[in-house]
Amino acid sequence: MRLIQALFLTEGDTKPTTLGKDNPLWSLYDIHERILKDIALGVDEFLIFPVPVAKEQDPTWGWIGEAIHNIKDRYAYESKLAVDLCLCSTMPDGHCHHPEEERSRELMINQARAVHRAGADTLAPSDCQPHTVKDIRTQIPEAHIMSYSTKFRSTFYRGYREAMSIEKGIERTYQLDVNDREGAIQRSVDYSNDGADELMVKPGITGIDLIEPIKQRTGKPCGVFQTSGEWLGIGAPGSLKETHDVFQRAGADYMISYGARLL
Ligand code: PBG
Ligand code: ZN
């Protein structure tokens, strides 16, 4: 099972989060040293969450492209870099889409292009909107797409919401209901048909039994995202390794975690 370290990258200064001293929002400058340390710890894959300083409904992605290019070009050239694509870190209402669908699609594809052009190895759309994977596949045919394909509406996202200054209780109706097993598998099948290269269940703990059926039905790799709430629930030494072993036992091809560097 591949291990992927999640990292927050902010346009502003390094800022603490509730996810521990090794998981703040990293400034463009400070993320450099963290990545080098992680590489020394054996990490060879990263998932980066870009976090703009301002909330705005019509963002431009110039800073993200530049930042990803610097990271990839200067010190992470041997690492695999995935970048999370969404709108919730910038939309004033905290949702993963712009209120107008056409504009939303345009903003997502602009973000995808900026990140792809900057040299990211993997585009990871997490917005759970119906057209996104297809739009990226059509407009950037050569992109490697890791889709947040079976993503549940969940209370396990608290730390992330706090880190993004998103209202904690915000309900994302476009995320899936944990009680709908077939629908949750089907969503991964749909994104696979839209052109995703890799699939995912998120949170890991509430999707663990769906990894095998998703792999069987699509023939594609499927991994888990160990979310902020799961990470915050890990107290005892050894518990992180235990969750890792169980995701592996369940057939996960990769595990994204705030603690990948510790495994
Ligand atoms: C939404 C998004 C979420 C997370 C990352 N991107 C979920 C949400 O806020 O609904 C959660 C990540 C985590 O909790 O670690 N695009
Ligand atoms: Zn989002």
pLDDT in tens, 126-142: 999 999 999 999 999 99
Q: Is the pLDDT of residue 69 over 90?
A: yes
Start-to-end CA span in the chain (Å): 11
Closest by CA to 79, choosing from 94, 90, 68, 93, is 68
**158-214 pLDDT, tens per residue?**
999 999 989 878 889 999 999 999 999 999 999 999 999 999 999 999 999 999 999
CA–CA separation, 121 vs 219, rounded Å?
Answer: 21
What HEC string does 81-129 produce?
EEEEECCCCCCCCCCCCCCCHHHHHHHHHHHHHHHHHCCCCEEEECCCC
CA of 127 to the centre of ligand 2 (A): 5
Lowest mean pLDDT among 50-54, 118-122, 142-146: 50-54
Q: Which residues line ligand 1 (CB under 6 A)?
A: 86, 88, 96, 126-127, 157, 159-161, 172, 227-228
**Average pLDDT score, the chain:** 96
The confidence band for 225, taking pLDDT boundaries of 50, 70 and 90, is very high
CA of 86 to the centre of ligand 2 (A): 5
Residue of 160, 162, 256 to test ligand 1 pocket, by largest number of atoms within 8 Å of CB = 160
pLDDT at position 233 is 95
